[in-house]
Amino acid sequence: MTQAPPAQPPATAARKTGPRIPLIVEGLPSSVALQLEETQLPSPHSVDLVDSPRAGYVSRLLAREPNVAELFHANSSLSRYSAANQAADPTLVDAAREWFFATGYQPLDGDFDDDLALEHRVRVPLGLLPDGLGAALRPLVTANPRERSLYSGDMWLVAGTEVFRVPARRGVLWKERTLTERERADLFDAIVAEPAPAHRDVLLVWVVVPWRQMVFRGPRGYRHALLELGGQIAVVEAELAAAGVGVRTTYDFYDDAVNRLLEVDGTEHAAIAVSVLDPTGRAQ
């Protein structure tokens, strides 16, 4: 009687390769690191009761509706077959920029009593800002190529309890409002930054105004506005730092609170970034 050959392992049997080395990403829990390495589809029998960025990331491949951020990108895309978004004639946009810079915040002769406006701090020369901050800001808002991006949005300056707009080509600040001490504290508390802004700091709030671009480009103009203003933020950060002004910019803040305290609507005018300035150079 012949001996039967030894049984072969089933074809589906797992081969022993030793323990799996867990993915290690410095600063990330292993569960999050594994999700970044390979998206794991969630069970169709489970539902996230609490919305979160991580839940949106995990469920994005099976979501019935696209994420709102993805909708923005899709709706602002150029297409050969749609008239909603257009590549604008650059000469039209340049003409609008020049009109905006030439006429905005430029009162006619006799409209203002300059001495009275200064006394009530309605219009304040940049040179009156403390610790040389005005001298550092002046080159950024005078007539030069760097001002082009200030068409897509505005710079607002919060010094003490005073809120000013910083218009291009003017060399002066226009007061928008005066905060109470409580409102100033609320504004600083709405900024998510580490370390938190100090009481001495000055805030430069960047407010995007997308319709200045969208009037020519449709929804595509929103992309132009954000990108242009982002480039301007980088220029201002570098030049203020070179002038000895400490600057650090955060894009995280409680939008409703900041927009409300600036008295902007949050749609046609909306804060998109806050630069914390310290004229002593310590905010870097």
pLDDT exceeds cutoff 60 at 97: yes
Q: Across residues 181-209, what is the average pLDDT?
A: 90
How many whole angstroms separate alpha carbon 182 and alpha carbon 110? Answer: 37
Which residue did the predictor score with more confidence, 113 or 140?
Answer: 113
pLDDT value for 25: 54
- Residue 258 CB partners (closer than 8 Å, separation 6+): 187, 190, 191, 205, 271, 274
Which residue type sits at 132?
G
Write out pLDDT tens, residues 210-240: 999 999 999 999 999 999 999 989 988 888 8
**Signed CA dihedral, 217, 220, 226, 229: sign only:** negative
Percentage of the residues of the chain whose pLDDT score is greater than 90: 30
Confidence of residue 21 (pLDDT cuts 50, 70, 90): very low
pLDDT exceeds cutoff 80 at 178: yes
pLDDT value for 36: 60
- Residue 84 CB partners (closer than 8 Å, separation 6+): 75, 218, 219
Q: DSSP state, 151?
A: G
Of 150, 200, 182, the C-alpha closest to 257 is 182
Q: DSSP state, 14?
A: P
Q: How many CB atoms lie within 10 A of CB 135?
A: 13
Cα separations (Å) of 4 from 1, 8, 169?
9, 11, 96
pLDDT exceeds cutoff 60 at 268: yes
pLDDT exceeds cutoff 90 at 69: no
pLDDT value for 14: 44
Confidence of residue 3 (pLDDT cuts 50, 70, 90): low
- Residue 4 CB partners (closer than 8 Å, separation 6+): none
pLDDT value for 262: 95
Report residue 118 as tokens: 């200064």
Cα separations (Å) of 151 from 50, 98, 232?
40, 9, 10
pLDDT exceeds cutoff 50 at 260: yes
pLDDT exceeds cutoff 90 at 249: yes
Q: Across residues 57-64, what is the average pLDDT?
A: 74
